[in-house]
Amino acid sequence: MRAIPFARLLLAAAAFAAAALAQDPAVPARTFAVRCGTLLLGDGKAPLRDAWLVVVDGKVRSVGMDAPVAGTPVVDASARVVMPGIVAVDSDLANAADSDYQYAPDALAVDQFDFERSQLAALQGGVTTAYLSPGRLRLVGGQGAVVKLAGSDLVARVLDDTAALRVNFAEAALDAPRVFEPTAHPTDEDPLEAARIQTPTARISVLAELRAAFAAATDKDLRAGGEGPAEHRFDERPLADVVKGALPLRAGAFLATDIRRALLFQQELGVRMVLEDPQEIAEVVDLAAAQKVAATFRVPVRFGRANPGGEDRLDKSPEPRADAAAKAAAKGLLVGLAPAPGVPMRDYLMAVAVAVRHGLPADKALRAVGADAATILGVDGRVGTLQPGKDADFVVLSGDPLAVGTLVEQTWVDGERAYARKSSSTALAIRAGLIHDGAGRSFRNGVVLMQDGRIKAVGEDLAIPYGAQVVDLPQAVVTPGLIDAFSHLGLAGEGMFVPPGAPNQRVHDAIAHDDPMFVPALREGITTVLVAGKDGGPVSGRVAAVKTGAADHASMTVRPIAGLRMSHDAIGPDAIRGFAEQINRGKQYVEAWRKHEKDLADWQAGKKAESQPAPAPQPTEDKPEAAPVDPLSGVWEGDLDVQGQIQLKFTLDLKLAGNKVEGTIKISFGGREVPAQPIAGGTFEGGKLKLEFRGMGGSATLEGTIKDDVLTSKITLGRMGDQDLIARRISKSSGAPAPRRASASKPDEDGKPKAPKVDEGLEPLRAAIEKRAALVVRCNRGAAIGDVVELLEKEGIPYVLTGVEDLYDGAAPLKGRKPAVLVGPETVFEDKGELKNVASMLADMDLPVLFGSGECKNAKLLPLHAAYSVRYGLSPADALAGMSSATARAFRLDDRVGTLQKGKDADLVAFSGNPFEPQSRVLVVVCNGRIVVDRREDKQ
């Protein structure tokens, strides 16, 4: 007696503990809410916006606008479309085989269905419930079932194991095989009989057969009968169930004549009937409507595949009617939709969209995979719509269910997430109200499609590929990523530490890809900058083109040399000579390289032409080494070819001590030998070699494996990156390399032309002369301008002018030439009480105007400087070109940046409005295909 209250106390304590473990006492267990941007209920009615779907214990608790109680876990689909899980009104998922016998009413499709198998394609298509068809060939093929396509409780997944009895009124039922029914012990009285023919073999006997079979299974007096099924025994109860109204008939009928006979049978028996894929229903649709039958259709197109019967114009197979579902629905038939046989279920909604294309109203089409589909299958109490009490089967879609690029992101079955899309795609789509591609075209409600850092397509109404990340900016104006034509961004101060007058200085090496100074410019849409140090002297320095939003240093550099800044302002007779000499030096340098390339090509051609010499004699002087030798010690040689440009020869003299490696490394370059350097450190363990040494402009490492005197390694050479190096041991004794044996020398090195010396100081000029870069020439005086323009036009060298003060008075010095002119940041001057807009004036002379900020920290203001010029008369198109396409063209960067065109770098800016309106702000910036700025949520 005393123990009982004690037990109660224990129970109470346990209950208290359980309650304490629950996440929030106000929220029942297994409860969550889905915040839906758009919520379709499956009933074909207008969707709810910004609605909540609340799920408790796998069932829909509520749908509506009211937020759930605080503390409810939330699945955020606020930027997504949520709809009921698709009810597939027909499928071949059971893979049901056909019996040999014409009558197999007791064959159940559910028995053939593999519940353990993942239905990934269906879940990817948003299908959560499916009708499983039995075999479709025989007269009475069996019974279909309705199952859920996910869930661990196999029994609970079956909504109806005997959903319908399938009867075939179509051609295939006339072609059952003969059946051989041997007697077990043949005697004279009971002999072996020939295989039995199965009826019907012609349409005239189909109804007669069916009447007889159904009459035999019931007491009902049918108007006429037939021989009916012969010896084969089967369970007649399903036929009786049909007559009693307990089991609907699924009538397979394609041709109008078959549909008509199916309807006749329905009338005679007075049973529930679903016509299965009655493609020619239009001809008998009034009759079908009067008899209130339902119909399921397979949308007759297989996407991206050959379609049966289509390859031969003489093919006699009946034409499917894509508008059949529309015709049936128009007369009030209940219609269900499924994709054609062979179409993966992941394309279910695309098939539905095709039915809409052929006249089925979109609301009916969605009902045909929702409410109506469930009604046809008799499972409308459970699925098909998202109403309180029904199963929480729903799909989260990336957009409009019927849009071509919409994909299923999540599929939920009974309140459990059965599928979530992995976002492995690198595709990015920006949809915007207006897109200026920078090349003169504009797109309303356009799309920029990007993948792997490049632009794939730009246009209006582009299909978004399956799996793409979509950014919707319906009000935004998208332009190419902006280019600052002259900037010190990335360099310290105003280009300090890159000294003026040093064109040999590799500007891009001095810039870090993650320089925080890039961020403000990037936030204003500047994705590319043409960086140079401070000007000074006639040849001041290189211009490098770099991205401000790159992920790493390698992808930061668009061009190491995009230009060379020079100046010339001398006037008078022959004043251009100094400038021209610079150009001449460059030309000679280029000529030397051209000659080398030609010699090299000739030499290589000659080498190819020579027949292969006799095999080199095997070294015969190899003597066995006196001392036992480890696998490493000795002299190793290997050649390295860096991108076909630089040929290096490595000589490693190594000695193993324990697992430590000592020795020297010598790198020969361009025929020059440099002194051997000691190795900074190294190890050799288990056949793996690691070395560290000072290499090309920094520390270098080598990692590799040794096997049979061959070293296979990866060598990291500072900025040259990783290279594969294979070296061979030419001597097993450490120390000075053994003198080369004649037989070991490489005959193909003989006579190889020597490359000219690389002159870093002349490389920028070489790039310009080879039209890979532009000279940026500062000159202000008219005569100087004239001289420069004349010379560079004659030499055909790309150039950009800057300064150009005398051009303000007229374009005469240009003599009709149209060079690009770099301006900014100041373009509007007050001159004798009048405002002069330099950019506008130059643009009026038909000169491409390029905007450069000339700043570092304040490069971010470039778009505003351009806007100021627009305020005083520059056309916005010229202003945009001056920060995109014109700049890219002038600096020969137009293969990469400047316009939104297929194949170009995926750099763009989305503004909240007109890019030149001071009120507009940047919403999104994409650089190299990555969203690097997303200011959509920023509060002003």
Partner 1 sequence: MNASFRLVVAAALAAATLAAQDGAPAAPAAAPQPQAGPNLPDKPFELWRPRRPKEEKDYQVAKWGPRGLPSPGYAFRAAKVLPITQAPIVDGVVVTRNGLIEAVSPAKDVTIPAGYEVVDCGDAVIVPGFVEMHCHIASESFDLNDTVHPTNPEFRTLDLISMEHDQIRAARAGGVSVALYIPGSGSNMGGFGTLTKTWAKSPEEALVRFPGSLKIAQAGNPERGSGDLGTDMMGMSEGIRMTLLDGKRYWEQHEAWQAGKGEKPKFDPTLELLRGLFRQEYLVSVHTQIYQVVLQTLQMLRHEMGLWTVVVHGEFDAYRLSGNAYESGMAVAAGPRNYHFDRATSQFLGLMQTWHDGGKYYAWRDPVLGLGRDGVGVNTDSPVVPQEQLTVQAAIGVRLGLPHEVALRALTINNARFAGIEHRVGSLTVGKDADLGIWSGDPIDPRSAVQVMVINGQICYRRDPSRPVW
Residue 221 lies near partner 1 (rule: CB under 8 A) = yes
Q: Which stretch binds partner 1 (CB under 8 A): 192-200, 491-499, 607-615, 675-683?
A: 192-200
Minimal distance, residue 175 CB to partner 1, in Å: 12
Quote the least distance from Cβ 266 to partner 1, whole Å.
13
| Residue 227 interacting with partner 1 (CB under 8 A) | yes
Chosen residue from 264, 289, 362, 811 binding partner 1 by CB under 8 A? 264
Q: Which is nearer to partner 1, 230 or 931 (CB)?
A: 230
Least Cβ distance, residue 271 to partner 1 (angstroms): 17
What is the distance between the terminal CA atoms of the chain, rounded to a whole angstrom?
73
Q: Indicate the residue among 280 and 855 with the shorter CB distance to partner 1.
A: 280
540: tokens are 């001041």
Tell me if 450 contacts partner 1 by CB under 8 A.
Answer: no
Q: How far is the CB of 208 from partner 1 (least distance, A)?
A: 4
Measured from the CB atom, the residue of 266 and 540 that comes closer to partner 1 is 266
Distance CA 440, CA 877 (A): 8
Judged by CB under 8 A, which of 43, 106, 205, 289 binds partner 1?
Answer: 205
Q: Which is nearer to partner 1, 20 or 202 (CB)?
A: 202
Q: CB 186: neighbour CB atoms within 10 A?
A: 11
In the complex, minimum distance from the CB of residue 178 to partner 1, in angstroms, rounded to a whole number:
10
User: Dihedral through CA 798, CA 804, CA 806, CA 807, nearest 10?
Assistant: 60
Does position 344 interact with partner 1 (CB under 8 A)? The reply is no
Question: Based on CB atoms, which residue is closest to partner 1, 158 or 208?
Answer: 208
DSSP 8-class letter at 103: B
Point out which span in 258-266, 525-533, 649-657, 867-875 binds partner 1 (CB under 8 A).
258-266
What's the CA gap between 177 and 102, in Å, rounded? 9
Choices 251-259, 403-411, 476-484, 800-808; region in contact with partner 1 by CB under 8 A = 251-259
Sequence-separated (6 or more) residues with CB below 8 Å from residue 822: 485, 486, 776, 800, 801, 802, 850, 851, 852
**Which residues, other chains included, contact 279 with Cβ-Cβ below 8 Å and sequence gap of 6+?**
254, 255, 297, 300, 318, 319, 320, 321, 324
Q: Is 774:562 a contact under the CB 8 Å cutoff?
A: yes
327 binds partner 1 (CB under 8 A): no
Q: Burial level of 213, CB count in 10 A (0-12/13-18/19+)?
A: buried
Counts of helices then strands in the chain (DSSP H, E): 21, 41
Cβ distance to partner 1 smaller for residue 286 or 826:
286
Structure-derived torsion over alpha carbons of residues 341, 343, 349, 354, reported in degrees to the nearest 10: -70
Give me the least distance between CB of 199 and partner 1, in Å please.
Answer: 5
- Sole binder of partner 1 in the list 208, 362, 730, 744 (CB under 8 A): 208
Choice between 82 and 263, CB closer to partner 1: 263
What's the one-letter identity of residue 423?
S
Distance CA 176, CA 426 (A): 52
**SS3 sequence of 719-744:** HHCEEEEEEEEEECCCCCCCCCCHHH
CA 378, 380, 383, 385 torsion-angle sign: positive
From the list 143-151, 198-206, 297-305, 713-721, the region that binds partner 1 by CB under 8 A is 198-206
- Using CB under 8 A as the binding rule, whether residue 224 contacts partner 1 is answered as yes
- 270-309 residues in contact with partner 1 (CB under 8 A) are 283, 287
Does the protein bind partner 1 through residue 226 (CB under 8 A)? yes
Stretch that binds partner 1, among 214-222, 712-720, 836-844, 908-916 (CB under 8 A): 214-222
167 is a site residue for partner 1 (CB under 8 A): no
- Residue 598 contacts by C-beta under 8 Å, 6 or more apart in sequence? none
**215 or 908: whose CB is closer to partner 1?**
215
**Residues 210, 173 contacting (CB under 8 angstroms):** no
225 lines the binding site for partner 1 (CB under 8 A): yes
Q: Mark the segment that binds partner 1 (CB under 8 A) among 22-30, 208-216, 471-479, 706-714.
A: 208-216
In a 13 Å sphere around the CA of 684, the CA atoms on its Cβ side amount to 20
Least separation, in Å, of the C-beta of 251 and partner 1? 14
By the rule CB under 8 A, 124 interacts with partner 1: no
Of the candidates 148, 261, 321, 865, which one interacts with partner 1 according to CB under 8 A? 261
Which stretches of 466-589 are assigned E, i.e. beta strand?
A: 469-480, 482-487, 526-532, 539-547, 557-567
> Which run of H or E residues covers position 700?
strand 698-707
The position carrying tokens 């028996």 is 269
Six-digit token string for 680: 């900074």
Phi, psi for residue 272 in degrees, rounded to 5 = -75, 130
Question: Considering the complex, what minimum distance in angstroms separates the CB of residue 256 from partner 1?
Answer: 6
The span from the CA of 413 to the CA of 152, in Å, is: 11
Residue in 121, 255, 575, 590 binding partner 1, rule: CB under 8 A: 255
Q: How many CA atoms lie within 13 A of 646 on its CB side?
A: 13
Instruction: Based on the shown chain and the rule CB under 8 A, indicate whether residue 398 belongs to the binding site for partner 1.
Output: no
| Site residues (CB under 8 A) for partner 1, limited to 168-187 | 174
Angle, CA of 720, 725 and 731, to the nearest 5°: 135
Stretch that binds partner 1, among 121-129, 210-218, 371-379, 826-834 (CB under 8 A): 210-218
Q: Which of 61, 148, 211, 431 binds partner 1 (CB under 8 A)?
A: 211
Query: Distance of CA 686 to CAs 659, 689, 728, Å?
Result: 9, 8, 18
Q: Which is nearer to partner 1, 257 or 425 (CB)?
A: 257
Q: With contact defined as beta carbons under 8 Å apart, do 909 and 523 qualify? A: no
Q: Distance (Å, rounded) from C-alpha 129 to C-alpha 113? A: 13
Does position 316 bind partner 1 by CB under 8 A? no
Binding part of the chain for partner 1, among 131-139, 196-204, 620-628, 792-800 by CB under 8 A, reads: 196-204
Q: Which of 120, 121, 256, 600 binds partner 1 (CB under 8 A)?
A: 256
- According to the binding rule CB under 8 A, does residue 451 interact with partner 1? no
Q: Which is nearer to partner 1, 199 or 928 (CB)?
A: 199
Kindly write out the interface string for residues 624-663 of this chain, putting x where it contacts partner 1 by CB under 8 A and - elsewhere: ----------------------------------------
Q: Are 336 and 90 in contact (CB under 8 A)?
A: yes
Q: Is the dihedral of CA 534, 535, 537, 538 positive or negative?
A: positive
Q: Which residue's CB is nearer to partner 1, number 264 or number 696?
A: 264
Q: Which of 106, 111, 115, 203 binds partner 1 (CB under 8 A)?
A: 203
The one segment of 202-210, 543-551, 652-660, 689-697 that binds partner 1 by CB under 8 A: 202-210
To the nearest whole angstrom, how small is the minimum distance from the Cβ of residue 140 to partner 1?
17
* 910 bridge partner residues: 478, 924
Count of residues of this chain found to bind partner 1 when the rule CB under 8 A is applied: 30
Q: Applying CB under 8 A, which residues contact partner 1?
A: 174, 197, 199-208, 211-212, 215, 221-227, 255-257, 260-261, 264, 283, 287
